[in-house]
Structure 1
Amino acid sequence: MFRSLGSSVDSAFVPTAYDASHATDLLTAGTGIGSLVVVSSSSVYADGEGRSLDEAAETGFPVFDRPINEETRTVVPGPQTYSTRKMAMEQSLLSSSLHVTILRPCAIYGRFARHPREWWFVKRALDGRDRIPVAFGAESIFHTSSARGIAGLAEICMSSPAQRILNVADTTPLKVRSIAAAIGKAIGLPINLAPLEGKSVGPSYIGSTPWSVERPYVLDTSRAAALGWHGGEYSEQVRETCCWLVESARGGDWQSHFTAFAQYGYDAFDYKAEDELLAKL
């Protein structure tokens, strides 16, 4: 792609590099690029026992006793999982002499997202669900990262090239109940939660929102803040995403727009199962 430009570029922002082969492509074109800002993922982090998000269902959710900084242990690079492939990409780029900034976001949101997590609540509100069961008492914290915030940090890094790794996330990590409230306010509809004790229920994982985790997953973004970057607040930035979701789904064929939900392996909107559970509460 960069070679096709026919001349060198000062800096390039690459949000879609996923493995070592993508890193090789970028490095091959590296002589024509002054610096790179490449999006990775905070899923590369592992706790003291080596547990990461990729294997949470088998090995347990990772345990971090403080916000995750850039020096935290990571998964081993390799072809096995999404995160190990991301780590292989990072390693390849950072082992070069090129100025490369690696950005590690968490739960990304913004217009045109392939996995718009907010749809989990937006659809239920649009469908008139008056009680929405939510696991872990709606107290889960899974840090959010706005697309605008990522772009803003990328701009700063492109104007000040260096080789570094930066976490990128919203200023305040919110509990699921606060995320739901922000989404409800954005679309002007009530979102009434029915908190569940403990994890999700049944084969449809009732109560499992896209942010429902058994322990907090929070990023330390102080290194990015030291560059003058401000992540912004979820409650102030999510409205644009929610309005896009409502407009995109207006024709009724939301499955063709938000394809990631089809990859869950279960019905994320199993209202019959939800109603059966709610009747027992």
Structure 2
Amino acid sequence: MDTALVIGGTRFIGRHLVEDLLDHDYDVTIFNRGNHDNPFADREEVTHVEGDRTNDSALEAAATEVDPDAVFDCVAYKPREVRAATDIFADCEAYVFISSGAAYGREEIPKREGETPLHSCTTEQAVDDTEETYGNRKAEGDRAVVAAAERGVRAMSVRPCIVYGPHDYSERLDFWIDRVNRFDRVLVPGDGTNVWHRAYVEDVASALRIVAERGEAGEAYNVGDRRLVTLAESVELIAAELQTDVEIVHAGPHELEAGGLSLEDYVFYREYPHVLSTAKLAALGWESTPLEEAIERAVEDHLESDRDGHEHGPDREDEERVLGILDTL
């Protein structure tokens, strides 16, 4: 394969995917509405086609204009969009849909492709726009990929867990980097041993390309860090990268409640561990970036940005009340 069309391609996962494709000698076209700054505007090797991916006619026009070998769908959030894209790009050598670990509908450790059941998706959920139905819609998109493969389309899915790294506009990891960078004491909910699997963004990008090149039609592939860490270990890794010492202070539900907080107020807290098996992807030759290296790049990017992730955790003033209560115990 020589040419790639990235639907999306300018913000986070798509941005890293474009870089990965360029590093592997693809001619790349990005297709989006142009609502966000284009980091490739001055790159002659990247073509931009403007259009709305929810408009089938615009997508068909892009397919005709670009005639790509591989298509990477970074911004399909409703199953109808996946069904339309797999029809429009049916003759391409590969169509890869970015699904999500949230598509899994049962809690088990680890969640495995083809074994762990997916969420169901009602007609109403399929057209919803809320966070509550995100996993349902991604699961139905996965089923659309399987249906396309049964029609002879080389369509595949990649299921990342929570993605982090440079240019992460979600700012989820930024919350914890900011806490470690600014305070000597970091409040960690629970006992710090909870696990929510995460995926470094450059690894997600390479996974998408590798699946397009080597994956099997109709199959889904999980992607996540090969080394899992607890929330407390994540804080320690960030502190090591920032070359600072922090005191991790644990607070259970009762201590947090005294300060008007709850465990669920904190990003990356999850009562039941969320772990994805990545063995299927690794069998294609994919490798994960060493965790310390991934954290180093994420911290460096955070320090160069104005992100603080404040929306993903309590105000520090509320935490100070909890810390004060703990100090009296």
Fold similarity call, TM over 0.5: yes
% identical equivalent positions: 20
Letter paired with 2:216: A
Give 1:160 shift: 2.1
1:75 corresponds, among 106, 119, 124, to: 119
Does residue 150 of structure 2 align to residue 91 of structure 1?
A: no
Deviation string, structure 1 residues 82-128 (Cα, Å, up to 9, x no partner): 1111122222222113111211111110111121222122222333x
Letter paired with 1:270: D
2:210 corresponds in structure 1 to 156
Letter paired with 1:68: K
Distance, in Å, in 2 between the alignment partners of 1:139 and 1:228 is 31
Distance, in Å, in 1 between the alignment partners of 2:244 and 2:74 is 33
Provide the secondary structure at the position in 1 that maps to 2:238.
helix
Provide the secondary structure at the position in 2 that maps to 1:102.
strand
Distance, in Å, in 2 between the alignment partners of 1:184 and 1:199 is 27
Distance, in Å, in 2 between the alignment partners of 1:4 and 1:206 is 46
Matches within 5 A, 1:109-258: 109-127=164-182, 129-163=183-217, 164-198=219-253, 201-202=256-257, 203-205=260-262, 208-249=265-306, 254=307
Larger Rg, first or second structure (1 or 2)? 2
Letter paired with 2:299: C
Provide the secondary structure at the position in 2 that maps to 1:118.
helix
Confirm or deny: 8 A CA contact 2:74 2:98 kept in the other structure: yes
Letter paired with 1:170: D
Give 1:140 shift: 0.7
2:319 corresponds in structure 1 to 274
Letter paired with 2:188: V
Deviation string, structure 1 residues 216-247 (Cα, Å, up to 9, x no partner): 11111111111111123332212212211111
Confirm or deny: 8 A CA contact 1:170 1:234 kept in the other structure: yes
Confirm or deny: 8 A CA contact 2:160 2:204 kept in the other structure: yes
Letter paired with 1:4: A
Letter paired with 1:75: H
Letter paired with 1:24: R
Does residue 62 of structure 2 align to residue 4 of structure 1?
A: yes
Distance, in Å, in 1 between the alignment partners of 2:282 and 2:181 is 37
2:97 corresponds in structure 1 to 38
Give 1:209 shift: 3.3
Distance, in Å, in 2 between the alignment partners of 1:153 and 1:109 is 15
Confirm or deny: 8 A CA contact 1:77 1:91 kept in the other structure: no
Provide the secondary structure at the position in 2 that maps to 1:134.
strand
Provide the secondary structure at the position in 1 that maps to 2:172.
coil
Distance, in Å, in 1 between the alignment partners of 2:174 and 2:240 is 14
1:53 corresponds in structure 2 to none
Distance, in Å, in 1 between the alignment partners of 2:280 and 2:110 is 12
Give 1:142 shift: 0.6
Compute the RMSD of aligned alpha carbons: 2.3
Does residue 82 of structure 2 align to residue 23 of structure 1?
A: yes
Letter paired with 2:112: N
Question: Which structure ranks higher in relative contact order (CA pairs < 8 Å, sequence separation ≥ 6)?
Answer: 1
Distance, in Å, in 1 between the alignment partners of 2:325 and 2:160 is 39
